[in-house]
Amino acid sequence: MPVVTICINGTDREVEEGISVAAALVNADVWQFRTAVGGEPRAPICAMGICFECRVTIDGRPHRRSCMESCRQGMEVVTGD
């Protein structure tokens, strides 16, 4: 598979093109995808677009479901919001 570079929380990482952003985060050992209303770290439980626990900011757009988006060259991902 071709490799692309994406930026996760300010650090560039090479990932296989087309894998989901959620998969790329797990592979980067990032487990806090978002912060819950009460402050707890959260990560996906469904990985198929229904739980919305995997929301991250992608290319400046908040609340994107990382399990539903594929990694593209130059993508910027910010987690923890």
Partner 1 sequence: MTETLEAGTVIVGAGPAGIAAACGLGEAGEDVLIVDEGPRSGGQIWRHRPGSGPPKAAQAWLARLSATQVRVRHNLTVVDARPDGTLLGESEAGPVEIRGSRVILATGARELFLPFPGWTLPGVIGVGAAQALVKSGAELRNLEVVLAGSGPLLLPVASLLASQGARVGLIGEQAPLGEVLGFGAGLWRAPGKILEAMRYRSRSLGARYQTGVWAVAAHGDDRVREVVLTDGRRTWTRRCDLLCCSYGLVPNVELARWLGCEIDNGRVVTDEVQQTNQAGFFCVGETTGIGGAELSLVEGEIAAAHISGLAEALPPLEKRRALWRRFSKSLEKAFRPRRELAERVQPETTICRCEDVTCENLDPEWCIRQAKLYTRLGMGPCQGRVCGPAVHYLYGWASDSVRPPLKPCRLATLSER
Question: Which spans of this chain sit near partner 1 (rule: CB under 8 A)?
Answer: 1, 15-20, 22-24, 26-27, 31-33, 36-38, 40-53, 55, 63, 67-70
Backbone dihedral region of 51: left (phi > 0), alpha (psi from -120 to 50 degrees) or beta?
alpha
For partner 1, the closer of residues 19 and 78 by Cβ is 19
State in angstroms the smallest separation of the CB of 47 from partner 1: 4
Q: How far is CA 18 from the centre of its chain?
A: 13
Strands 76-78 and 3-8: parallel
Minimum CB separation of residue 65 from partner 1 in Å reads 9
